[in-house]
Amino acid sequence: MFLFLFILLISGAFTQNPASSCKNCAVWNAPQQPFKIYGNTYYVGTHGLGSVLITSPAGHILIDGALAESVPQIVSHIRSLGFRVEDIKLIVNSHVHYDHAGGIAELQKLSGARVAASAWTADVMRKGIVPHDDPQFGVIFPIARVAQVTTVKDAEVLHAGSIAITAHLTPGHTKGGTSWTWRSCENGQCLNMVYADSLTPVSSDDFLFTRSKDYPNAIADFERSYSFLESTPCDILITPHPDFSKLWQRLEQRNSNPNALIDPAACRTLAGTSRQDLKARLAEEGHGRK
């Protein structure tokens, strides 16, 4: 009897809709008008969670699926921009937390696209669990399982239609964190686009980045990711949480300055603030965090 109740409790916890108990989800899922970022790159996410569509006449790429309950918004954004969800050929992900990957299973079903992810991320997607070596194990929701995921390596270039997108492993926030770069052109001017994964040292209360048995390389991983951000050509930065790259502020400035989204220093700036965040977190851990 006890076992039965236990199983019931566990299955309830794992099948419940995150919207019913996620305290940030309503804010993250606030509506947002889709818009062109630059050239063939469009913002199709919610106000709080990024999702980017890169288009070509022979097929599109979608980065991130936000929450499971963001899918209707993402789909209607893509359609209202005049594109077909069925033309998405490839879906990729920044990191496999429910606020960026929760919608991917459904978006894959709707589009028939292939999903490609880093090895660690792909494994989590296939299982639909939060693994022990995720710093946020125990405090976040699992995602819906993704049926078919292919694995990408660092610096691998993926193609869909005429689009080429490069995977850059940027671990730290999770072991499988991935940033993505591509080029978009407008009126003969081609820019370096960067979708940079979250690099925040967020964890459950009992996880320590300085001495985790499950993730012993966490600090070195963050360093590697900051180095990527500091060195990658970066004209327009977009982040899974749009606030982290001041997207709304820059978009408002675009009313008076058509180039307001362009900032070649943006990736280096993000690396700098991320380094400071990690430094503060490590100091906190040194002083007996709890």
Instruction: Give every CB contact of residue 201 below 8 A, 6+ residues apart in sequence.
Output: 135, 172, 173, 209, 218, 222, 277, 278, 281, 282
Residue closer to Zn ion by CB (options 97, 168) is 97
Cα angle 264, 266, 268; round to 5: 95
CB 173, min distance to Zn ion, A: 6
Residue closer to Zn ion by CB (options 121, 232) is 121
* Span near Zn ion by CB under 5 A; candidates 12-20, 91-99, 164-172, 215-223: 91-99
Q: What's the rounded Cα separation, in Å, for the pair 67 and 240?
A: 12
Q: SS3 for 174?
A: coil
Q: What's the rounded Cα separation, in Å, for the pair 115 and 103?
A: 12
Q: What's the rounded Cα separation, in Å, for the pair 128 and 106?
A: 13
Residue closer to Zn ion by CB (options 67, 88) is 67
CB 40, min distance to Zn ion, A: 27
Q: How far is CA 261 from CA 43, 57, 117, 126, 200, in A?
A: 12, 25, 27, 36, 23
Q: Which residues in the 212-271 window bind Zn ion by CB under 5 A? A: none
Tokens of 188: 């003969």
- Total number of residues that touch Zn ion (CB under 5 A): 1
CB 16, min distance to Zn ion, A: 19
CB 249, min distance to Zn ion, A: 22
Residue nearest to Zn ion (CB): 97
The reply to whether 97 sits near Zn ion by the rule CB under 5 A is yes
Q: Which residues in the 194-213 window bind Zn ion by CB under 5 A? A: none
* Span near Zn ion by CB under 5 A; candidates 90-98, 176-184, 226-234, 243-251: 90-98
* Span near Zn ion by CB under 5 A; candidates 60-68, 92-100, 161-169, 251-259: 92-100
Q: What's the rounded Cα separation, in Å, for the pair 202 and 265?
A: 25
- The residue ranges that bind Zn ion (CB under 5 A) are 97
